[in-house]
Amino acid sequence: MSMTHYMSLLADNQPWNLIIFMAIPVIFAETITVTEFFILFNKSLHSGLRTFNKICSILAGFYFTGIFLYLFPTAFVPLTVNGGWHTWVDVVAVSFYLGGVFFLLPLALLELGLIGRKQTEEGKMKLHFLFVSGFLVVAHVAMIFGMVNPLIIGGMAGMPGM
């Protein structure tokens, strides 16, 4: 069966690639989201749960930045330079997956006080929620497009100009 590079990455080296590239980032994001709901609904901005949320946010941001720094030069650039993409759905899946760094890295930086310093506590929580939500959106777009069989989009022929 033909598949996108996103799905190929997850399918190779089972179960390790699935754990490293999918399970860990998504579990972090879902843990942050669930704890965030409890923090917001209980207005517990200075609790143990908030500390746990903060630690998860920092770890997720740096973990996914590591994934980005590994995959961008070893996968994205060579696929682009060599025209190795399996249609536009492949480009969308991989691009949206790697785009998660634009949400998780700022999340970590926010928690470390490197950005958003002038924000109120409520303003920081809004930014925090937007970053987590943004990551979940791009991760799900990547998953959806990553599961598409590229053959139904237009074949596996090289994509000139990509």
pLDDT digits (tens, 9 = 90+) for 123-139: 998 999 999 999 999 99
How far is residue 133's CA from residue 124's CA, in Å, rounded to a whole number? 14
The rounded mean pLDDT for the chain is: 92
pLDDT at 40: 86
pLDDT the model gives residue 97: 97
The pLDDT value given to residue 1 = 61
pTM as predicted: 0.89
Q: Are 8 and 90 in contact (CB under 8 A)?
A: no
Helix/strand number for the chain, H first, E second:
9, 0
Instruction: Return the pLDDT at 156.
Output: 46
pLDDT in tens, 9-59: 998 999 999 999 999 999 999 999 999 999 988 888 789 999 999 999 999
The whole-number pLDDT of residue 154 equals: 67
pLDDT for the residue 153? 81
- Please choose, from the candidates 160, 162, 18, the residue with its C-alpha nearest in 3D space to the C-alpha of residue 78: 162
Tokens for 43?
A: 């207005």
pLDDT per position as a tens digit, 88-122: 999 999 999 999 999 999 999 999 999 999 999 88
The label of the residue with tokens 């700022």 reads: 106
Let me know: does 25 contact 100? Beta carbons within 8 Å.
yes
Give the residue among 140, 144, 141, 61 at the shortest CA–CA distance from 103.
Answer: 61
Q: What is the pLDDT of residue 34?
A: 95
The more confident residue out of 160 and 137 is 137
Q: Tell me: the pLDDT tens digits for 140-153?
A: 999 999 999 988 88
Q: Give the pLDDT confidence score for residue 85 in this predicted structure.
A: 93
